[in-house]
Amino acid sequence: MPAHTEPDGSVKIRVESLHYAYQRRGRQDVVALNDVNLTIAKGEFLSVVGPSGCGKSTLLRILAGLQKPTSGTVSIRVDDGSRPLMAPVFQEYSIYPWRTVEGNVRLGLDAAGVPRREADERVREWIHRVGLSGFEKAYPANLSGGMKQRVALARAFVLEPEVLLMEEPFAALDAQLRTILQDELLSICQERDYTVFFVTHNLDEAVLLSDRIALMSSRPGTVRQIFDVPFGHPRTPEWRRRPEFGALQDQIWDELRADVQAMARGGRA
């Protein structure tokens, strides 16, 4: 598990000299991450982009405590002991088929012993905010893939954690709904004190949402470059139309293109 530390300065998450290798019996280990160093400030939205297979998801799972690094350290500062420290949202829906939408969303609140009236109010709020009002009693078998992902999003938001760990949370959604929920996430993170680690392949999404963007190399993944997003807050979806938005997106793509082309050819940059 990542180390949980006492408040010290502005750094919320610190990754130092992180290395991770997948062990394969009778075969050579696959090095997924090599000497990853990264800091994320309290309240910062950091997106991670890079070619497929560069270790973005592995890094997120290490932050979540689901995988243990081969070497190196991860520390996450605790600021408010009354809130859950982390809530992950994965590309897979990870919701329980035997629980209704409402039951899935309130699961963490029940486990935390949140009073029923407060839990009911929070569940209603977040089901509404992700666009699932009217489906409270529906079971996952009767939901589309995009609706299931919205359940997973509401289940994370309702906990009001200090840190959101998000892996391609909008990948299963159609383009219109993806845009709506990107805008909603932007609004939520500007009004609430979340620190966000966000894995995405979508550069438009990364530029719109982020304070900084970490570009990872092809495997073994390491942080090649950090891009500051020089757009202030409050930030609105209309930023997409500005020339500086497209210029930053093009700059990141110029750095990423060679690795992506190499991966598409079945090789490595």
For 213-254, how does the pLDDT look when each residue is reduced to its tens digit (9 = 90+)?
999 998 889 999 999 999 888 888 888 899 999 999 999 999
For 177-188, how does the pLDDT look when each residue is reduced to its tens digit (9 = 90+)?
888 888 888 888
H/E stretch holding 84 reads: none
Which residue is it, tokens 């078998």? 141
Helix-, strand-, coil-residue percentages of the chain, each rounded to 5: 35, 25, 35
Question: Which distant-in-sequence residues (6+ apart) come within 8 Å of 17 by Cβ?
Answer: 35, 36, 37, 71, 72, 73
- The sign of the CA dihedral 216, 15, 46, 225 is negative
Q: What is the pTM of this model?
A: 0.89
Looking at beta carbons, which pairs linking 64-70 to residues 24 or more positions away fall under 8 Å? 64/88, 64/165, 65/1, 65/2, 67/20, 69/18, 69/19, 69/20, 69/33, 70/19, 70/20, 70/21
Residue 268: the pLDDT is 47
Residue 3: the pLDDT is 61
Q: Distance between CA atoms of 143 and 127, rounded to whole angstroms? A: 14
Strand order in the sheet with 86-89: 86-89, 163-167, 195-199, 45-49, 212-216, 223-228
Residue 32: the pLDDT is 92
Contact between residue 57 and residue 42 where contact means Cβ atoms under 8 Å apart: no
H/E stretch holding 138 reads: none
Per-residue pLDDT of the chain (269 residues; tens, 9 = 90+): 576 554 456 899 999 999 999 877 777 788 999 999 999 999 999 999 999 888 999 999 999 999 999 999 999 999 988 888 999 888 776 789 999 999 999 998 988 888 999 999 999 999 998 889 999 999 999 998 888 888 988 999 999 899 999 999 888 778 888 888 888 888 888 887 789 999 999 999 999 999 999 999 988 899 999 999 998 888 888 888 999 999 999 999 999 988 877 766 765 44
